[in-house]
Structure 1
Amino acid sequence: MTRDDDARAILDGVGGPANIAGLTHCSTRLRFTLADDAKADLDALKALPGVITAVRSGSQTQVVIGNDVVSVYNAVEKQRKGVPAAGGSGVGGTGAAGGSAGGGADARRGFSWKRFGSAVMDFIVSVFTPIVPAIAGAGIFKSLLVGAGALGWLPTDSTSYQLLSVIPDAVFAFLPILVAYTAAKKLNVNRPLALGVVAFLLFANFSTLVNQDGGAALFGLQVQAVNYNSQVFPSILAVLALWPLERFFTKISPGPIRVFFVPFMCYLIVAPLLMLVLGPLGFWLGSLLTGAMIGLYNTLGWVAVAILAALLPLIISVGMHKAFIPPTLATMAATGKDSFYLVASLGHNLGEAGAMFAVALRTRSIRLRATAIPAGISALFGITEPAIYGVTLQNRKVLLSVMAGAFAGGAYLGLTVVSAFALVGPGLASFTMFVDALNPMNIVNAAIGAVIALAVSFVITLVVWKDSTSPTVRAERELALAEGESDTVSAEPTPATTPAAAAAAGTSTVLAPLSGSVIPLAEVADPVFSGGILGDGVAIVPTAGGVRAPFAGTVTSLLDSKHAIGVTSDDGVEVLIHVGIDTVKLDGAPFTAHVAQGDRVEAVQLLVEADLDAIREAGYDTTTPVIVTNSDRFAVEALAAGEIVASAPLARTTTKELAHGAA
């Protein structure tokens, strides 16, 4: 088949050109936004030559191609040119549906609750995730300060204590400004304009006017006296109102006056609307969510905490835990504490840790142990995704053990009415979030509940775990036997995997392209990478953004987005370094390339610099898969785990024919 034939087959597989509302590509896959997802035939796409796999992720249908993605993308775009889109509008070569008065496919996509839910979750994540570090840091600062006061180390009536208290208190007081910024960034609204519109809510003169005797009225309409400190929903509603207005006035205003006319009209319309309607409405919405959270807790008590803790592995696996952030923020703003979601999270986090350590102790699989130990440590510190995706969801008995431990720990935490005072993932590093100056037993009970969750899940996993019932271990054995290798599920490496045997087989070394923490590829929160679809390898959670050559060779792939780079060694090993997950959407903004496609590079030469802070602020995961994309030719063996520095040995590759011959 020619490349044009491939493109036509892919277009047929996604429901035809008229079904395409948008098309982009990253370093390995075509990303389709379709008018009707049901028209895409994933099985047919997977069966096409040149297509590695096809997956549906959120609102996108992704066709994984590999290194040839650019040429396939160009061929698909060539086929799309001149083909009418849904509604009769033409589709150009930019990947977006063309627009007549009736709109293209994108504008005419039918409503579905799934698509609506996906859009809402994406908005929530984009608005709240970037501000969590600021809130979490301020919360821990405050809890440490309260602890120092309770222990008498720093008297609460001292000037030093009061001055230090101002630092975290200001973060929460000006939370509406932080939310206005992230919401404006998500919706591509002018950020200073959004901040300016929202700022009056926190202005002392405004508070004085509306709180005076008799209140205040705007053109005869009473302005409600509301304390907007720490509120998030008024800012969100204000930015949602700005979103269409700014575009409308930008479109209709003449160029010479646009710079002042657009913001003037936005102030004129949105600010009074915020003062009279949107502000009180947002405050009511926050109060409603707070009441719902507190009401559920008051109705079910400790049972609610225990049930939520037990269900969190499933809730987190589909990303729905992000929906708890707004009501938890609202609850903490109203009451200064949370006794539900964060407390349940403590039980779940420690339950995951206990199960991981038991799996590591019981399994004879070297690879599974290498996954479980760092995942358990990560869960101890409040990050459970590596455990959930790497082990828990793949093994039913582990999932049930985690749920049992989380339920037991959550029940104790609920019965003793433990409360959290900082919005941060509960774990060892953040345990001061449970310091309560009025109740010294709060942190003691939190510790007891955490130990219960860890111990129960550890013991149950220890009892029920069997390598023979683990899908992960069975697949590992089957793969080893299919490739003619000895069983890798053993306490010691077999002779075929010793360094001496590997050297005899003829190997080459892949150096770490970044400094950071090495994790198994299975822990990457992207099914294409974690499933090994693009090839074998490992991933690095980077601590520095300098991406260096893993060996001497040639740059064979470097997209305009600069988030991923492919290098081929002189021995023919093809390595893809993909900085972050879904970072193609950043359009290259946080990346600086120091080489070009086709350049000859030496080992450890600087290839790309990534601004990790900017990537995180944009709400993206910085985890960087390092993959041997031609794993059909080369066996890959990880050489490192845990912390690593750039240029240290990361993996060993062996030509499969030589490896099998040596075996």
Structure 2
Amino acid sequence: MASVDYTTLAADILEGVGGEKNLVGATHCATRLRLRLRDDAKADTAAVEKLPGVIAVMQAGGQYQVVIGNDVPLVFAGLGKISRFGNEDGSDDAPTQGNLFNRFIEMVSAIFSPILWPLAGSGLLKAFLSMAGTFGWVAPTNNTYVILSAAADALFYFLPLFLAVTAARRFKVNQFTSMAIAGALVYPSIVALGTAGQPVDFAGIPLVMMNYTSSVIPIIVAVWLQGYLERFLLKFLPSAVRNFLTPLLTVAIMVPLTLLTVGPATTLLSQGVSAGITAIFGFAPWLAGALMGAFWQVFVLFGLHWGFVPIMTNDLATIGYSLLMAPLVPAVLAQAAAMVAVALRTRSAARRGVAAPAAISGFLAGVTEPGIYGVNLPLKKPFYFGIAGGAVGGAIAAMGGSASNAFVFASLLALPAFTAVGNFVLLLIGTAVAILIAFVLTFIFGPRETADAVKDDAVASPAADAETVPVPAAADTTTGAPAGQRATSVKVLAPVSGPVIALADVPDKVFSSGAMGAGVGIVPEEDAVHSPVSGTVHAVMKTGHAYGIKTDEGVEVLVHIGIDTVQMKGEGFEAAVTRGQRIEAGDLLATIDRARIQAAGYDATTLMVVTNTRNLTAVVPLGETRLTRGAPALDVEL
């Protein structure tokens, strides 16, 4: 489908099913658009089937299904450009099922995606300004410095306003109402109330104030709650007053509610955490340093770091130094080192474009937000390795009694502030160890993404999604071909153990017709599904039921767990891989609950199809009636 214009195809499909007015909803699975129509009779199925790029059309489960194949996400994105359908909620490249922390990471990463480039640029400008001020090139009081500093700091200071827009898109609420809520949180008089130190109340109810500038979680929570309130008001308010009363009541309710709930919760939690770590410094400095080094970036993520600021500033005012600040240097620079490793390791130009400048801003200015939200957190492992490095480095720094005699952002340029108190050499050693651990672990074990592993829109690029491109040939684990020598065949292994079903006998027209390619079906006798080949994961359905893997030789294998199991919306499926991850044959792809699938009335038959069969010499099932997981199932001739 390389020659197909996806937006044009989406428009033709939309016209063929009766136009946008006849469309109630749209999603997609691994191979097909799933449309819900108001009136099926208005759809011209014959015309849709003739469209270039459409493999087949079928109606099942109350859905009008247009089979596209591997490029269905691009057609779905094209649908989003010409209609109110086709938004990001129709599909995702990472599973939203699974543990709560992974789902939280996915959500935060998606909300930050559209602003990553401005965030990276602002962080880099801040780093250069910090360097200019440190080396005396420009005085901080100089008007030029002040103006450029405002330009660099504005996005970070007003971050809640930017996140209000992206969170509103994520949660499908009015983005301008969300901006009004965010604007109130960073309004000068509200900021002043938070710093005045005087009792604050709202309608007689005491308010616990916090500083919401540069905060992340409060506005995301507020916009999420806004969605429920907005939908309630839009449903029950009379049409004559709905348009102006909905935003009026939403802002009037959500701003005080956020200040009354998020502020106290965040403040009390951060005060408790900071008090606990401060107490630990008294009897086990190494442990306190390890905790600060490990979790500082986590504290920043949740806005809990504000609880440490009063203690740090009080220490500086009373005793002239702060022990709490030393472990922050290893913590911050470890995350920056992980970004460098990602920039060197990844094959994705888009990811590298964020990681490299973000690492510079982290090292020179202590500004890690661009890299945390655009690189380390979405990839998970670099974030964890940064935490590990920060923990070890923080412990070493704290053991030497290192402390700062000035309030600075932890960075390389801030090191002079740590020379007067404690063992500065141990701080340098701790920092070096933290950098080494994070860099080496990320470089060796971090995901090595392919060129298509990062969507352009995930880094705010206006270009369309990148196509999958072949990666350089490596040693072939299924054929034994040496590196640098292209294999002539690839063995595709069974992802599960169980009886084999010929693809023609599979009760799904799309697969049984061979339209998706040659392959086999296996009735699983186990709840673990493994990778049939070595390669790169280029597609993971958020429901966890389908996975696309591309081998180094260019063979594209689809593992589709169950028939029409997309309808289960992820229940009974848990993905073990993410898009862009390098995996080996036999690695765990997913775990499933066969009992739940059966109870829901679906067939758990696992389909394994070579989707680019037409571009290969031959794809031959090996004719077995039963397969053991890991045994050869298909012979692919290149």
TM bin (shorter chain): 0.3 to 0.5
Q: TM-score, normalised by structure 2?
A: 0.43
Structure having greater relative contact order (Cα 8 Å, sep ≥ 6): 2
